[in-house]
Amino acid sequence: MPVLITAGLSPEAYRLQRILDIKDVVFADVSTIPKIPNSLSIVLPPHTSSSFVHEMLKSCLDLGITRVYPLNLGEVIELSKARTLFSEYNIFLIIPSEFWIQDNFRQNNLRGDHVSVLEHGLVVAGNTLTDNYALNNETGVFKWATSGPKKEYSLYLA
């Protein structure tokens, strides 16, 4: 079953594909993505559009998408409000809880080279976390770096 990665024009989207080691990926962006051999891409409305969630859900259903990896902060926030709707169609949004977003998210220039994909607190792809207390039971794509004795975490965004 294919997965969908947003911010399809960004290098972060293709790095995430490599980390996930998945060949059946649909890339999405608000602009047309140049044709890449053996890949599929779609255009979605911007996350500020009233039809964003509806179009995302429709595209997922039409293409048989089972997992969505949004790499734009606005998309993460909008999709977090529609988590239940997507789960009713067995589409898993790889985003942190609304609590984590509100409590922990900060725009920072974290220069972490480490990327970890977590589902319910377990690393499913990317770098293994030695201490993931800050991400206990979270789902999402996170980048992290060690600064001094502690780790800093941030969402992996384009």
Residues 14 and 55 occupy one common structural domain: yes
Ranges in the chain, pLDDT < 50 = none
The domain of 121 spans 100-155
Angle subtended at Cα 34 by Cα 29 and Cα 39, rounded to the nearest 5 degrees: 80
pLDDT digits (tens, 9 = 90+) for 111-151: 777 899 999 989 999 988 766 667 888 999 998 887 767 77
Enter the DSSP assignment of 148: T
Report DSSP letters for 54-71, one per residue. Answer: HHHHHHHHHHT--EEE--
| Signed CA dihedral, 53, 8, 14, 113: sign only | negative
Residues 89 and 108 in one domain: no
pLDDT at 61: 98
Whether residues 45 and 109 share a domain: the answer is no
Structural domains in the chain (count): 2
Distance CA 57, CA 63 (A): 10
Please check whether residues 61 and 134 belong to one and the same domain.
no
